[in-house]
Chain A
Amino acid sequence: MAGKIVADTLEHSTAGSIATNYVVEGSAKALIDFDGAASTTVDKSLNISGLVDNSTGNFTISLSSSFDSADYYFIAGTAGSEGAAINAATLFGQFDNSARTSSQIQCESWLTNTGNARTPYYLDNCDAVWFGDLA
């Protein structure tokens, strides 16, 4: 049986100390790197249970362990094209907030330099990170 340590502070001999709540609350609770151009191919993930391709560039990402509310901190924003120079401006971010729950979020990748309206687009390097308290 693995051991368990309950502590409020971790102290390194030279690098200083940190209250363990910073370790817990400052750690990402979910991660995903997926190839949107290859539909639902997840390259790297933590706490991710599903990725659904809804339409061009539009995905629903589900979490294995839910947050305690839908008000978690979600970082997306960057997506790129692998193996080639970036010739278009691209973004990857949350799509419809009504679809945001403690256990899933809807995202979209799109081109930003195609006029006033965004152009949904399949990008092959979509990354996102979640912070917050799990249920």
Chain B
Amino acid sequence: MSEIKVDTLTGKTTANDITVTVGATATMSLEQGLAKAWINIKGTVTTGIQQSFNVTSFVDESTAGHFTYSFTNSFNYVDHVGNGSVNLNESTGYNRIVVPYGAPSTSQFSLQESRADTAAKEDAASIQYIHFGDLA
């Protein structure tokens, strides 16, 4: 077994381009495949972040289910890739969904969580979102 002890991995030719073998022969960029930010929100309390990575300054907006958070390190373009999930309404059994809210930004993200059948906005107990893409 081999082990590398290192604090930073940097591409030799291009700083953010390290190639990783990910299949029998296939290779890909290490940097592009890594999640750059993620968050676990408990929407039913005021200070809702349970765990997070590369996230700061969380805001529970006035509308139910609407949250905004900033990235510690911003993305280098607005159209980074993200996806999320939310728990169903335990008391009623209604399905819920979470979607991006408003115009995208490199430095912050806003999400809206609501009932799938009516689009009624609710505060859910467990909302997760993950972001991929290139940081600035």
Beyond contacts A46-B32, A87-B119: 10 other A-B pairs, Cβ-Cβ < 8 A, are A11-B5, A23-B20, A24-B21, A44-B133, A65-B28, A78-B82, A80-B112, A86-B119, A113-B119, A127-B83
Residues of chain B contacted by A31 (CB below 8 angstroms)? 32, 81, 132-133
Once the chains are docked, how many angstroms separate the CA of A2 from the CA of B13?
7
Q: How many A-B residue pairs have CB under 8 A?
A: 157
Is there an interface contact between A84 and B102, defined as CB atoms closer than 8 Å?
yes
B-facing mask of A68-83, CB < 8 A → 1, else 0?
1000000111111011
A-facing mask of B1-45, CB < 8 A → 1, else 0?
111111101001100000111111110111011110000000000
Contact of B119 among A80, A82, A89, A128 (CB under 8 A): A89
Residues of chain A contacted by B12 (CB below 8 angstroms)? 2-3
Is there an interface contact between B32 and A90, defined as CB atoms closer than 8 Å?
no
Within 8 A of B (CB), among A80-110: 80, 82-91
Within 8 A of B (CB), among A30-57: 31-33, 43-44, 46-47
Contact of A78 among B33, B84, B118, B132 (CB under 8 A): B84
CB distance from A93 to the nearest CB of B (A): 10
Max chain A Cβ within 10 angstroms of own Cβ: one of B4, B13, B33, B80: B33
User: How many chain A residues touch B (Cβ–Cβ < 8 Å)?
Assistant: 52
Whether A117 is near chain B, meaning CB under 8 Å from some CB there, is: no
Is there an interface contact between B84 and A29, defined as CB atoms closer than 8 Å?
no
Once the chains are docked, how many angstroms separate the CA of A129 from the CA of B38?
14
Once the chains are docked, how many angstroms separate the CA of A47 from the CA of B97?
27
Q: Which residue of B lies closest to A77 (CB)?
A: B83
Contact of B116 among A29, A113, A133 (CB under 8 A): A113
Is there an interface contact between B100 and A89, defined as CB atoms closer than 8 Å?
no
CB distance from B11 to the nearest CB of A (A): 8
Once the chains are docked, how many angstroms separate the CA of A77 from the CA of B29?
25
Is there an interface contact between A129 and B132, defined as CB atoms closer than 8 Å?
yes
Is there an interface contact between B99 and A80, defined as CB atoms closer than 8 Å?
yes
What are 16 pairs between A and B in contact, CB < 8 Å? A2-B13, A6-B2, A8-B3, A9-B1, A10-B4, A12-B6, A27-B33, A28-B33, A28-B132, A78-B83, A78-B99, A80-B100, A80-B101, A82-B104, A84-B102, A112-B95
